Every structure is written in structure tokens, then in C-alpha cells.
Amino acid sequence: MGEAIAFYTISAFVLLFAVLVVSTRDTVHSVLFLVVDFLFVAALYVLLGAEFLAAIQVLVYAGGIVVLYLFVVMLVNLKRPPEAYEDPQRRTKLGFGLSAAVLVELGAIVGYGYLTPAASRPAAAALPVSGNTEEVGWLLYTSYLIPFEIASILLLVAMIGAIVLAKREL
């Protein structure tokens, strides 16, 4: 009974702060509400018995990702009007070509996943490890390697974008 009350209370706080993230007008307050939301999600992970995921939630999301968000929010002047001129250095066709190449590659990955017989895929039930942390690590680097790499590429692109924005202002 106590676990159910704690679960519903923490879930209500997660939903409340998620609504505050998208409804507040101040971007810094929105990011701070996001930090609190991530902390409540970590509390949900602890309640569900996934302590490793809770620690990663706090370290990676409430720590690193939110710092990146704050970095971008502080660097981008939201009160400034948009630029009136077109950048002559911008390579629009190259950007569209690279985007199309990435989409084709992702489509090939998804298509390969659907066309590969299920017998040749690694089974999640036959893990050679025991324990919560070992299972997460094993699945992350075997069955979910492609989504893990895609997430790392997206974080790299976000970091490069923040550096480009910062360099333009300096």
C-alpha cells in the first residue's frame, strides 16, 4: 500500500513538473523545472528497483544534459530579432544531402531489423550476466548498440551546435 502511494505521488510530481516545463514563459525556469522533473524520474527508478538507472538519470540528464541546455539558453539571445541577411557561407544543398543520407541509412537499419530472421537476433532471455547493472550494460552493448550510437551522435551534434553558436557570438 505504501509503495502504491509513493508511486502515484512521485508520478503526479513528474507530470506536474513536465507541464511546468512546457507552460512557463521563462526559459531558465523551464530548464530548472526540467532538472526537478529528472530528479523525480530518478526517484521513480529507485522505487522500481533500478538503482543504476536512477544514478545514470541524475548524473547524465540532471547533470550533463541540463547544463548543455542552460549553456545554449544563456548563449542564444532570445530577445534579439532574427537576422535579416542570408549567410553566404551557408551550404543548404549540402545540408539537405547529408540529411537525406542519414535518413536513408536509418531506413536501411530499420529495414534490416525487420528483414533479419528472429532466430539470428540475440535473445534477451539468455544473458550471461546477473544483476541489474550487468544486464543493462550487456543489453546496451549488444541488442541496443545502434540506438545507443544514434543517441551519442545526436549529443555530439548538439555539442557542436552549441560551440558554433558560442563562436559566432565571440
The residue behind cell 522533473 is 37
Which CATH number is 57's domain given?
1.20.120.1200
Chain centre distance of CA 169: 26
Cell of 14: 513528474
Residue 74 lies in a domain: yes
In this prediction, residues 108-123 reach a mean pLDDT of 72
Residue 130 lies in a domain: no
Residue 54: which domain range?
1-80
pLDDT in tens, 2-59: 889 999 999 999 999 999 999 988 888 888 898 899 999 999 999 988 888 888 888 8
Residue 125 lies in a domain: no
- pLDDT level of residue 158 (50, 70, 90 thresholds): confident
Supply the pLDDT for residue 124. Answer: 53
Q: How many helices (H) and strands (E) does the chain have?
A: 7, 0
Mean pLDDT across the chain: 81
Residue 23 lies in a domain: yes
Question: What is the domain count for the chain?
Answer: 1
Residue 70 lies in a domain: yes
Cα(101)–Cα(104) distance, integer angstroms: 5
Cα(65)–Cα(41) distance, integer angstroms: 15
In this prediction, residues 62-88 reach a mean pLDDT of 70
39: Cβ contacts below 8 Å, ≥ 6 apart:
58, 62
Q: What is the DSSP letter of 59?
A: I
Residue 28 lies in a domain: yes
**Residue 131 backbone class (left: φ over 0; alpha: ψ -120 to 50; beta: rest):** left
> Global pTM?
0.56
DSSP per position, 70-128: HHHHHHS-TTSPPPSS--TT--HHHHHHHHHHHHHHHHHHHHHHHHS-GGGSPPSSS-S
Is the dihedral angle over the CA atoms 79, 83, 89, 94 positive or is it negative?
positive
